[in-house]
Amino acid sequence: MHDHGVSLETLYQARRRIADKVVRTPLIRSAALSERFDAEILLKLETHQPTGAFKLRGAVNMLVALIERHGRGALAAGVVTASTGNHGRAVAYAASSLGIPAVICLSRLVPDNKVAAIEALGAETRRVGASQDEAFAEVERLVSEHGMTLVPPFDDPRIVAGQGTIGLELMEDCPDLDRVIVGLSGGGLLGGIGAAVKAIRPACRVTGVSLSHGAAMWESLEAGHPVAVDEVESLGDSLGGGIGLDNRCTLALVREVMDDHLQVSERAIATAMVDILQDEKLLVEGAAAVGLSAIEEHGLDVRGQRVALILSGNGVSLATLDRARALAGR
């Protein structure tokens, strides 16, 4: 067990906890991409989760772990988080399925349709301030004054272990996998998958893909400690945001399990989104397309290899897809 608190044992515990609430997603072969790159290109369809993204795994694992350890009464005041997208939806869904009250704090900038989607999953929403930071101040108030329990988006071993169950599934479905390519932001997804893969098949390469601008994990790994960066608008918006200046788990874990790290441009993300829709008839968000972006933009030589790409979520609007198509020139 390392100081990040994630081990093969905690991954298997997570799998047991989430089994009846989370989908064991398909790993499918892409005929078009396999032919194009002269490789076996496999797609892990986290888009099939009830909330449309992998985040549900971590949220369910954390809530069930809390109930197991402290009893349901400890969560009577409810759970709370701040998120504009996949994490907020995941917490709302997980809490509802377990009969626990949930509050999702959002800034006034979050579009009404996203707010409505979270409320439809049974959570209360609070519109606070004009930024994610101001929304998070409300989270901290609810924790300290009302005894609510914070469900962090990535920097917690229970969240990471939940996401890491994807890695266990990959190893079962393709034991001789050569490389897995994972979008990298806060590090919960890559850290979890990497922990599973490296424990079971150390020879498998774990490749992280970050945005070309505003990538906090990239800067933090370079600096050797957590660094704050300015967020920029991106088609891969789920890969924006910081890693937390008091990061306790994911920075150390990512450093341990990741073999190589690439950055991708907006045009590469746009092209990959359109390619996946065209070739696979799958609508994916920008953050879910970056594995393909990395192969295309960096000319990765994957010939003869078995490569898994994590299609992490489908939270994309038609307007964003139109933007991607325009940028890709398609």
Q: Find the CATH number of the domain harbouring 49.
A: 3.40.50.1100
Task: Decide if 186 contacts 251 (C-beta within 8 A).
Answer: no
Residue 140 shares a structural domain with residue 279: no
Reading the block at residue 118, the tokens are 């979270």
Check whether residue 318 and residue 214 sit in a common domain. yes
Q: What is the pLDDT of residue 86?
A: 86
Same structural domain for residues 178 and 204?
yes
Whether residue 212 is contained in a domain is answered as: yes
Catalytic machinery residues:
55, 312
Amino acid sitting at position 310: I
Same domain, 231 and 277: yes
End position of a domain, from candidates 124, 147, 170: 147
Q: Is residue 112 part of a domain?
A: yes
Stated as kind and residue range, the H or E segment containing 260 is: strand 260-264
The whole-angstrom separation of Cα 305 and Cα 36 is 13
- Are 117 and 220 in the same domain? no
Can you give the residue range of the structural domain that contains 135? 78-147
Are 83 and 128 found together in one domain? yes
SS3 category, 307: strand
Q: Is 60 part of a structural domain of the chain?
A: no
Selection from 77, 80, 91 nearest residue 128 by Cα: 80
In a domain, 242, yes or no: yes
Domain end position, chosen among 147, 174, 194? 147
Rounded to whole angstroms, how far apart are CA atoms 15 and 163? 10
Half-sphere exposure of 159 (CA within 13 A, CB side): 21
The phi and psi torsions of 6 (rounded to 5 degrees) equal -115, 125
Tell me how many domains the chain contains: 2
Domain membership flag for residue 297: yes
The answer to whether residue 71 sits within a structural domain is: no
* pTM, two decimal places: 0.95
On whether both 31 and 169 belong to a single domain, the answer is yes
> Minimal CA–CA distance to 49: which of 292, 319, 288, 295?
288
Whether 70 is in a domain gets the answer no
Query: Does 136 share its domain with 245?
Result: no
Q: Please name which of 32, 51, 29, 59 lies closest in space to residue 42, comparing C-alpha atoms.
A: 29
Domain boundary among 100, 120, 147: 147
Pair (305, 254) in one structural domain:
yes
108, 129 contact by CB (below 8 A): yes
Q: Residues near 319 by Cβ (< 8 Å), separated by ≥ 6?
A: none
Q: How many angstroms from the chain centroid is the CA of residue 40?
A: 24
Q: Are 185 and 107 contained in the same domain?
A: no
Q: For position 84, what pLDDT does the model report?
A: 66
Return per-residue pLDDT of the chain as tens, 330 residues: 457 899 999 999 999 999 999 999 999 999 999 999 999 999 999 999 999 999 999 999 999 999 999 888 889 999 999 886 789 999 999 999 999 999 999 988 777 878 888 999 999 999 988 877 788 889 999 999 999 999 999 999 999 999 999 999 999 999 999 999 999 999 999 999 999 999 999 999 999 999 998 899 999 999 999 998 887 888 988 888 888 889 999 999 999 999 999 999 999 999 999 999 999 999 999 999 999 999 999 999 999 999 999 999 998 888 999 999 999 998
In a domain, 306, yes or no: yes
Q: Could you tell me how far CA 220 lies from the centroid of its own chain?
A: 18
Q: What is the pLDDT of residue 131?
A: 76
**Is residue 130 located within the same domain as residue 192?**
no
Query: Are residues 87 and 16 part of one domain?
Result: no
What is the helix (H) or strand (E) element at residue 271, kind and residue range?
A: helix 266-280
